[in-house]
Structure 1
Amino acid sequence: MKKTIVLTILMAVFASCSDSDTTQEIETPTTPTNPTDPTGTVTYNKDVKSIIDANCISCHSSGRSASFRPLTTFAQVKAAVESAGLLGRIQLQNGQQGLMPQGGRMSQANIDIIVKWNTDGLKEN
């Protein structure tokens, strides 16, 4: 009998927990690597560099498998957008040949930031 009462109380406590009360606590804040909507002018240093660092330089840096196309500086990333097809390659879908990064498509939010950077004039700061 006591076990039934204790279990009933525990079930009532757990059932009273609501996801809506904790949603704001769990939400990830907007950061350059987790943007929700790129507003204002997108710049390399403020918005794009952290995305490239997180998704590209593990291959596209000195001594790595894609060191022939380094993406470690503003000038290198800008050149890749302007003349090496970076925008097209990051917008391919998983399974399509040439997709970058090779490990799988980055988030659409990150892609949108890089595309907006191009639209905004590939500004550094």
Structure 2
Amino acid sequence: MACESRTYEEISDNTPITGIVKYETDIKPIIETNCIGCHSPGGPASAYPLTNYNLVKAEIDNIVDRIQRPVGAVGRMPPGTSLSQSQINFFIKWKADGSIEN
């Protein structure tokens, strides 16, 4: 039995993501690193919290739209920067896979 590593740091931007993408192992770490500083209580985007699975799942269409906008575009997330293409691909695949929690 082989072990497959597929963290977003280890996947090049052009490598297709294989396997099912899950919130706890794949999406949550990206959210915690790049989004939670603003999208949590007390943050500048606290009106749009992304602090748990249900909140992220409910906003997945909006998230995918905003993270794919060009840097500098109105509503681009994260503002002033960009997720890597591999991180964006995880969100797209998670949505396509049915937004699985665990």
TM-score band, normalised by shorter chain:
0.7 to 0.9
1:94 aligned onto 2:66: no
Tell me the equivalent position of 1:51. 30
**After the TM superposition, which residues 15-30 of structure 1 pair with which residues of structure 2 at under 5 Å, given as runs?**
none
- Report the Cα offset of residue 35 of structure 1: 4.2
- Report the Cα offset of residue 31 of structure 1: 5.6
Query: How many Å separate the matches in 2 of 1:96 and 1:103?
Result: 9
Query: How many Å separate the matches in 2 of 1:32 and 1:47?
Result: 7
Question: Identity, % of aligned pairs?
Answer: 43
Number of positions where the alignment pairs a residue of Structure 1 with one of Structure 2? 94
Query: How many Å separate the matches in 2 of 1:59 and 1:32?
Result: 23
Query: How many Å separate the matches in 1 of 2:10 and 2:75?
Result: 25
Q: Is the contact made by 1:32 and 1:50 (CA closer than 8 Å) also made in structure 2?
A: no
Unaligned runs of 5+ in 2: none
- CA change 1:77–1:111 in 2 (3 A) is same
Higher helix proportion (structure 1 or 2):
1
Task: Please give the TM-score of this superposition, normalised by the length of structure 1.
Answer: 0.70
Unaligned runs of 5+ in 1: 1-29
Task: Please give the TM-score of this superposition, normalised by the length of structure 2.
Answer: 0.85
- Report the Cα offset of residue 115 of structure 1: 0.6
Pick 1 or 2: higher relative contact order, CA cutoff 8 A, min separation 6: 2
Q: Is the contact made by 1:35 and 1:109 (CA closer than 8 Å) also made in structure 2?
A: no
- Report the Cα offset of residue 106 of structure 1: 0.8
Q: Is the contact made by 1:87 and 1:115 (CA closer than 8 Å) also made in structure 2?
A: yes
Moved over 4 A (4+): none
